[in-house]
Structure 1
Amino acid sequence: MKNKFFTGLLALVGVVTVISSCSKKLEEYNPSGLTASTVYSKAVGFESLVNAAYSYTRYWYGKEEGYSLTEMGTDIWTNGSGDVYPQLTTYNNLQGNNTNALDLEWNNFYAAINLCNTGISNIAGVSDYTAAQKTTREAELRFLRAFYYWHIVETWGGVHFSTKPSDGVITTANRAPVDTFYNQIFTDLQYAITNLPATTSDYGRATIPAAKGFLARVYLTRGMNAQAIAMSNDVIKNYGLSLLPNYADLWDMTKLKNKEVVWAIDYSTNLAYNDLATGTFPTGHSRGSNNGHLMFGMVYDQVNTAILIRDIPNGRPFNRYMPTLSLLNMFNETDDARFNASFQSTWFVNKAATGFAIGDTAAYAPKVAVATAISNAKKYTMYDVSKVYGSNGVPSQRKFYISLKKFLDPTRTSVAEAQSARDAYVMRLAELYLIAAEAEVNINKPDSAAYYVNVLRTRAANPGRVAAMQVLPSQMNIDFILDERARELAGEQLRWFDLKRTGKTIDRIKTQNLNPDAAAYIQTYHLLRPIPQSQLDAVTNKTEFKQNPGYQ
């Protein structure tokens, strides 16, 4: 999709969120005289609405707040020293008033819902659309409404729900049952599947396989296993999609648009179109590019500045997140190419100095413990596992560690560049294989589950290690599936939903102690996030619309 979004008309007509977070009385003034009914009666105005409806995906995918809500507080990631949302990472005093990530996502996803509702309600009146154009655009808006509502209901539970547009400040909120959300999600996705095109030349727009793939994910979430298997197979077999032969190629900036992508957020290579404004859309435009490249890197530029300085290939490290020891231990890197394709363990000299040449090893973080005598004999700095994690798995320091490199962007033009043109994968074909595998486990068909898993493990095998990578039906259970999803999808903004869907959040984090940082604080009520306090303060029906249970 083109990455320049038309926002002027939207700002003028004053489309607002479902529930305003401003508690003061507002006096609205519209000097243009334009209204939604006039702007959206023409194709040019309506196209701006549809483009804007897509733009809100950029508040979640490829953004720090979205990573914090989806990857942190799970069994596979914990906080580096630069984490700015530690409450989400550890559940320590997580409330609705102590992280603006919750406010940002709530406000903008409800703004997106209202925009979709507005479009669906007004599309019949667009005078210069053909009937086919109306159907396609409505299908896109229904797909997006389902997409946003899924994120809302899975994050916060049965909160405010509406399919009607609001034009002005609404000060009351309702509490709809979770089933109400899902009934609408299913209805909207079925409409989208029936009316979307199978392909698009405007990359990033919704298509039939995108809607079917997302529906497979929703089926799995709701325990509809047979439907999840059938829908996954439909996408796998019928739309010309295929796994890339080499897992590492998924992260190559020159190969982002490939046949494994079911749907992605298309960030422009022209960074001017990826506005860094942080205000609420439409005034905030598309709110910057992908910033995943900033989040997962250790501060390599603080190891030894005489020989290793910040450069473009190694990234600009914000040091937000580090892998749990359990995540690292899920990989057998001898057999599985995904470890070295996903993680960086070695940093090389990029500044010559006495005793060091460009390209020599400057820092090394092996997955195993190394004897002190061996470590001390090396001229480079070593951060073996015993120098990063204590025996209980709690990090002993949070600055130097094995780092996720999937999202690094060597095409950035300067070492200080915070923006990346990397597309954010929302769904790729590998997830459909894993959805089918999990559903097969759920209905006690381990043979079929192993088949789907082995397709991915064959692709992931190091040369000569295909046989070693194959798994047996007897190995198929939910914990294995979750481990495999971690190996395949780590960092791709799915993990919190995976644990919640499988009922494994408390077990994996606390009982199995796979994330000891979070294990100390997590409670069952954390399976829902707290509603932002600003939202609770703004509503006038406070006795009906209350905070989620467990949060004070």
Structure 2
Amino acid sequence: MKPNINKYLIILAIAAAGMTSCNKQLEEYNPGGTTTDAVYTTPEGFETLVNAAYTYNRWWYGKEEGYSIAEMGTDIWTSGTGDKYPDITNYNNLQASNTVMSGLWKQLYAAINLCNTGIARIGKAGLTADKQKTRNAELHFLRAFYYWHIVETWGPVHFTLEETSGVITTANRTPVDTFYAQIFRDLDVAVNDLPVTTGDYGRVTKPAAEAFLARMYLTRGKNQQAADLADKVINSYGYTLLPKYADLWRMDNLQNKEVIWAVNYMKNLVFDDRTDATLFPNGHSRGANNGHLMFAMKYDDLPGMQRDIANQRPFNRYMPTLFLLNLFDEKADARYGASFKQVWYCNNLKTAPAGMKLGDTAVLCSKYVLPATTKYRVYDRNTVYTAAGGGNDRTHYVSLQKFDDPTRASMNEEQSARDAFIIRLAEMYLIAGEAQFKLGNASKAADYINVIRKRAAIPGQETAMEIRATDINLDFILDERARELAGEQLRWFDLKRTGKLGERIALHNPDASQYFQSYHNVRPIPQDQIDAVSNKGEFKQNDKYN
């Protein structure tokens, strides 16, 4: 989907007035005289509202803030030297003053308000009957999607289905069950009314809505529904696993038959919102996809190396736990080599050791203990990790490369045109497998999971990758989700919904386990939101946060 940005900025500016009413500005000035009533009652104006509602996904997917919340603070990632938010990523004194919490809270509720506004006003937008049905279904889907992020992140917080207008200084505390009841109602509308396909890549479709609904069924313990719906998505719409896992991440192959829904960033970076004063003030989140910055180790000051496009610009934010690396049998599972970068090749003779040539190995990182060598730099298991498996050298490590972008125009470019995959077909096999296991059908669970393991097998290793019903338990399923989906902004939600967040952190992430407490299963409500409400006796901070 390629929305007209100049048009939807008008809509967002108008919507922002309702969402920032607690600032209590005494005077407002609208130089163009544009009103929501005037814009939303035209088909063209209403289209900009729907386009804008999609745009809030860009605050989360492919962004540092979203990675910090959805991947970090789990069993599979720990902090690199460049981690900006250790209070989130390791629970080290996480409090309501955290700016990431505040920013995402505001944007998610702005998105909810825009969806509520559109749903309430769509009947007067002048759309054709077919277009009205589709856009209404899209807005219902997006409201469910955003509310899922809100309720899982913060728990029983503010809930409304009404458009915000004027000054509102109260907020409510609504039970989690109420959120999910509405999520299911909204997804029913989406599933019933969305088209099966779209010519406008990035818009949600019926199979995408069903796929997300399957995720929600699994989250709420509706295992038979989850199994049935995931199986339907697998078999009914022509999606297919790519033959090679590595092909998923090629920049020339992003729109492929495995992707069910994605946030589509654009090759023309001007349209990816870096300097959009409404969406990303002060260049917030660096525009576009910035996953390529987050997981790359610091290599460009090592002998024989200099920064270049191919090796990415290393922000050094996140490093894999030793546990994550050890989940893979890299002799049989091609996902290890496709997911992780272990070798950096000499690209700078000026700093290279004597005898090293361009293209020779300059740096090697490994999860194993390696013998010393003078040929190149080695960072092995004993160098990178402590005896307990925590981070030791947080600057040099095996690096996730799934989000690398060698097509960037310059070595210092922070933006990538890479799409951020939100739902892909492999997740449906994992959902169906987990649901069948929970229904007592371990053999069926193994069948589903073996499909993605067969795709992941190095040629000749298919038998080694095959599992049996007796291999299946919840921990194995979580391990398999890590092997398949690491970095794809699902891990924190997976561990929370399975009740395994604290347990797996304690077992596999010693850096976070020293700080994690049970109350961290929800995040702190931003302090500026607590301060803004007048009903402080009713709208209180989540337990144990200051």
Q: Tell me if TM exceeds 0.5.
A: yes
Deviations 1:157-210 (A, max 9, x none): 110001110123321101111111111111111101111110001000010011
Cα distance, 1:396 vs. partner? 1.4
SS at the partner of 2:66? helix
| Residue in structure 1 matching 2:347, options 350, 361, 365 | 350
Q: Say if 2:10 is the partner of 1:9.
A: yes
Q: Say if 2:417 is the partner of 1:408.
A: no
**Distance across 1 between alignment mates of 2:366 and 2:442:** 34
**Distance across 1 between alignment mates of 2:314 and 2:283:** 26
Q: Say if 2:431 is the partner of 1:447.
A: no
**Distance across 2 between alignment mates of 1:470 and 1:534:** 51
Q: Say if 2:382 is the partner of 1:386.
A: yes
**Distance across 1 between alignment mates of 2:105 and 2:217:** 24
| Residue in structure 2 matching 1:252, options 235, 250, 253 | 250
1:106 maps to 105
Cα distance, 1:514 vs. partner? 0.2
Q: Is the 8 A contact 2:70 2:489 kept in 1?
A: yes
| Residue in structure 1 matching 2:434, options 410, 432, 438 | 438
Deviations 1:55-93 (A, max 9, x none): 000000000000000001000000000000001111111
SS at the partner of 2:78? strand
Alpha-carbon distance change, 496 to 14 in structure 1, aligned in 2, over 3 angstroms: closer
| Residue in structure 2 matching 1:521, options 508, 515, 518 | 515
2:306 maps to 309
Cα distance, 1:397 vs. partner? 1.4
Alpha-carbon distance change, 448 to 316 in structure 1, aligned in 2, over 3 angstroms: same
**Distance across 1 between alignment mates of 2:26 and 2:329:** 59
**Distance across 2 between alignment mates of 1:10 and 1:300:** 44
Q: Say if 2:191 is the partner of 1:197.
A: no
Deviations 1:127-170 (A, max 9, x none): 2x111111111001111000000110011011000111012332
What is the TM-score of this pair, normalised by structure 2? 0.97
2:423 maps to 427
Identical-residue share of aligned pairs (%): 57
| Residue in structure 1 matching 2:265, options 264, 267, 270 | 267
Q: Is the 8 A contact 1:16 1:169 kept in 2?
A: no
Letter in 1 for 2:99: N
Q: Say if 2:316 is the partner of 1:319.
A: yes
Alpha-carbon distance change, 26 to 469 in structure 1, aligned in 2, over 3 angstroms: farther
Letter in 2 for 1:320: R
**Distance across 2 between alignment mates of 1:284 and 1:231:** 42
**Distance across 1 between alignment mates of 2:259 and 2:99:** 31
**Distance across 2 between alignment mates of 1:172 and 1:489:** 39
2:543 maps to 549
2:289 maps to 290
Q: Is the 8 A contact 1:18 1:170 kept in 2?
A: no
Structure-to-structure mapping, 1:35-50, within 5 angstroms? 35-50=35-50
Q: Is the 8 A contact 1:16 1:111 kept in 2?
A: no
Alpha-carbon distance change, 286 to 92 in structure 1, aligned in 2, over 3 angstroms: closer
Deviates most, 496-505 or 36-45: 36-45
Alpha-carbon distance change, 33 to 42 in structure 1, aligned in 2, over 3 angstroms: same
Cα distance, 1:282 vs. partner? 8.6
Letter in 1 for 2:526: P
1:333 maps to 330
SS at the partner of 1:386? helix
Letter in 2 for 1:498: D
Unaligned runs of 5+ in 1: none
The alignment's C-alpha RMSD in Å is: 1.6
Number of residue pairs matched?
Answer: 541
Alpha-carbon distance change, 537 to 449 in structure 1, aligned in 2, over 3 angstroms: same
Q: Is the 8 A contact 1:14 1:167 kept in 2?
A: no
Q: Is the 8 A contact 1:337 1:462 kept in 2?
A: yes
Letter in 1 for 2:452: L
**Distance across 2 between alignment mates of 1:515 and 1:37:** 52
| Residue in structure 1 matching 2:534, options 534, 540, 549 | 540
1:117 maps to 116
Q: Say if 2:241 is the partner of 1:243.
A: yes
**Distance across 1 between alignment mates of 2:264 and 2:463:** 37
1:478 maps to 474
Deviations 1:448-505 (A, max 9, x none): 1101110000000011000000011111011000000000000000000000010001
1:27 maps to 27
SS at the partner of 2:34? coil
1:463 maps to 459
Q: Is the 8 A contact 1:3 1:267 kept in 2?
A: no
Unaligned runs of 5+ in 2: none
Cα distance, 1:9 vs. partner? 2.6
SS at the partner of 1:182? helix
| Residue in structure 1 matching 2:503, options 490, 493, 507 | 507
SS at the partner of 2:84? coil
Q: Is the 8 A contact 1:10 1:282 kept in 2?
A: no
Q: Is the 8 A contact 2:269 2:417 kept in 1?
A: yes
Alpha-carbon distance change, 545 to 425 in structure 1, aligned in 2, over 3 angstroms: same
**Distance across 2 between alignment mates of 1:350 and 1:284:** 34
Cα distance, 1:285 vs. partner? 10
1:74 maps to 74
SS at the partner of 1:7? helix
Deviations 1:77-131 (A, max 9, x none): 000000000011111110110x21111110000000000000001100012x111
Letter in 2 for 1:477: N
Q: Say if 2:168 is the partner of 1:170.
A: yes
Deviations 1:402-458 (A, max 9, x none): 000000000001000000000000010000000111111212211011011100000
Deviations 1:365-398 (A, max 9, x none): 122112xxx31x3310000111101111111110
What is the TM-score of this pair, normalised by structure 1? 0.96
Structure-to-structure mapping, 1:175-186, within 5 angstroms? 175-186=173-184
Cα distance, 1:14 vs. partner? 4.5
**Distance across 2 between alignment mates of 1:209 and 1:291:** 27
Alpha-carbon distance change, 283 to 525 in structure 1, aligned in 2, over 3 angstroms: closer
**Distance across 2 between alignment mates of 1:151 and 1:278:** 23
Q: Structure 1: which 4+ aligned runs deviate by more than 6 Å? A: 282-287
Q: Is the 8 A contact 2:9 2:278 kept in 1?
A: no
